[in-house]
């Protein structure tokens, strides 16, 4: 009898163990970059779900995106030794993106860059936008699209479409606008980004991606050793409030000439140049000589230590090169790393700043019946 009783007890214990295994929730697998998708799952404004989406290609490259702000959170690419390396700044959780003001990886809209004093005229009507940067409207205002939730549709392992339905009066911009951002991770290790938008009232649109690149994989150190190339003969100079004045300045014989690739330092710290001083480094729009040809490199960035390279292609007329001048070591990003000044380089393809007030520059006006389209490719490679 004792053996039968022992056997029954043993079977009961086994069944209990199986039952507990069946009810135990499995933890989501970490991404290649070490992100926990559970840390990105929440609901904003009570109805808008936010998640982390992962894109992959057959080369093992991985791109993580959250639909909060349409942000690229991580980009894993191989270095010259084949080691997978995260090359963008960002946060480990959606809470940090919500609570710490930043543009890390964001899909910027409605209007990337600055509009002078937040004022513009559309069809003769003066519109006052909110001001949030030295008296100007920057990146669509204080609640621009980088702080809003895009609808997400991941169509396959390597493509996601993010949709923003922006109501008339969003940050005082006119028109109900529907905008799409399509991220595609290609077989040749490129992030292909296509933007499109329509409106029911005349408005302005200028979208970009605001990824902060550090190709060393070590954002605790400045990225000023990176080698930069920009296909440009001029910049649109700024005043001490970072606002363009409508002119163009030749880059020849200045710290802004990167037609021949060279390290960002020491040019970025050459405060004997008034424009570098005004920008506290580089925070300027370069006028591209590629003339909208998506097949021609508009800019490139290479890290000498990892060998990782980034080439930017675009149909846009300009590119904003921003060297993380406002980073100060106070913000801690992924893995608790504090980001010091110039820990990254942003390469933001765009129409020129304050174009709504500069009729001599390419137009950013979008009218009903028209479709805004912009195209940017971030192609990664290795130089050994």
pLDDT tens readout for residues 11-51: 444 444 444 444 445 566 999 999 999 999 999 999 999 99
Q: Which CATH number fits domain 37-382: 1.10.10.60, 3.60.20.10, 2.70.98.10, 1.10.1060.10?
A: 2.70.98.10
For the stretch 259-274, pLDDT in tens is 999 999 999 999 999 9
Q: Please, what is the average pLDDT of the chain?
A: 94
Tell me, yes or no, if 348 is annotated catalytic: yes
Identify the three-state secondary structure at position 355. Answer: helix
pLDDT given at position 315: 98
Share of the chain above pLDDT 90, in %: 92
CB atoms within 10 A of CB 107: 28
pLDDT given at position 23: 44
User: Does residue 8 have a pLDDT over 90?
Assistant: no
314: left (phi over 0), alpha (psi -120 to 50) or beta: beta
Longest Cα–Cα distance in the chain: 99
For the stretch 185-229, pLDDT in tens is 999 999 999 999 999 999 999 999 999 999 999 999 999 999 999
In this prediction, residue 384 has a pLDDT band, given cuts at 50, 70 and 90, of: confident
pLDDT given at position 24: 47
Tell me, yes or no, if 210 is annotated catalytic: yes
User: Does residue 7 have a pLDDT over 90?
Assistant: no
Q: How far apart are CA 342 and CA 67, in angstroms?
A: 26
Mean pLDDT, rounded, for 68-81: 98
Domain spans, the chain: 37-382
CB atoms within 10 A of CB 295: 8
pLDDT given at position 318: 98
Catalytic residue among 136, 139, 210, 351: 210
Identify the three-state secondary structure at position 99. Answer: helix
Task: Give 24's DSSP letter.
Answer: S
User: Does residue 1 have a pLDDT over 70?
Assistant: no
Q: How far apart are CA 275 and CA 280, in angstroms?
A: 8
- Among 13-27, 145-159, 277-291, 311-325, the range scoring the smallest mean pLDDT is 13-27
pLDDT given at position 26: 58
pLDDT given at position 27: 61
pLDDT given at position 11: 43
pLDDT given at position 5: 40
Mean pLDDT, rounded, for 228-235: 98
Q: Which long-range contacts (CB under 8 A, 24 or more apart) does 164-168 make?
A: 164/70, 164/107, 164/109, 166/109, 166/110, 168/200, 168/201
Please list, in sequence order, all residues whose beta carbon lies within 8 angstroms of the beta carbon of residue 71, skipping any fewer than 6 positions away: 65, 90, 97, 104, 105, 106, 107, 146
For the stretch 152-185, pLDDT in tens is 999 999 999 999 999 999 999 999 999 999 999 9
């Amino acid at each position: 009898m004792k053996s039968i009783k022992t056997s029954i007890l043993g079977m009961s214990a086994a069944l209990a163990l199986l039952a507990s295994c069946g009810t135990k929730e499995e933890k989501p697998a970490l991404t290649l970059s070490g992100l926990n998708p559970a840390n990105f799952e929440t609901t904003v404004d009570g109805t808008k779900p936010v998640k982390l989406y992962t894109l992959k290609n057959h080369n093992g490259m991985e791109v993580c995106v959250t639909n909060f702000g349409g942000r690229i959170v991580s980009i894993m690419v191989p270095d010259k030794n084949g080691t997978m390396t995260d090359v963008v700044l960002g946060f480990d959780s959606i809470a940090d993106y919500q609570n710490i003001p930043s543009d890390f990886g964001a899909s910027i809209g409605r209007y990337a860059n600055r509009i002078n004093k937040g004022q513009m005229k559309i069809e003769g009507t003066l519109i006052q936008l909110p001001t949030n940067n030295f008296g100007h409207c920057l990146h669509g205002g204080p609640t621009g699209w980088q702080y809003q939730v895009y609808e997400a549709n991941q169509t396959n392992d390597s493509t996601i479409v993010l949709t923003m339905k922006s109501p008339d009066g969003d940050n005082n911009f006119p028109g109900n606008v529907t905008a799409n951002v399509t991220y595609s991770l290609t077989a040749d290790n490129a992030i292909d980004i296509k933007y499109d938008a329509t409106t029911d009232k005349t408005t302005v649109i200028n979208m970009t991606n605001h990824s902060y690149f550090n190709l060393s994989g070590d954002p605790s150190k400045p990225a000023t050793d990176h080698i930069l190339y920009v296909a440009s003969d001029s910049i649109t100079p700024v005043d001490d409030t970072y606002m363009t004045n409508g002119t163009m300045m030749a880059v020849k014989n200045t710290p802004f000439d990167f037609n021949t690739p060279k390290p960002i330092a020491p040019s970025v710290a050459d405060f004997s140049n008034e424009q570098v001083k005004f920008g506290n480094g580089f925070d300027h729009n370069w006028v591209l000589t590629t003339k909208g040809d998506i097949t021609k490199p508009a800019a490139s960035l290479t890290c000498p230590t990892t060998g990782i390279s980034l080439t930017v292609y675009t149909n846009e007329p300009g590119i904003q090169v921003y060297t993380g001048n406002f980073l100060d070591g106070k913000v801690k990003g992924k893995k608790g790393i504090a980001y010091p000044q110039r820990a990254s380089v942003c390469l933001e393809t765009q129409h020129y700043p304050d174009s709504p007030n500069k009729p001599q520059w390419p137009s950013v006006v979008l009218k009903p019946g028209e479709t805004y389209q912009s195209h940017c490719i971030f192609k990664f490679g290795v130089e050994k």
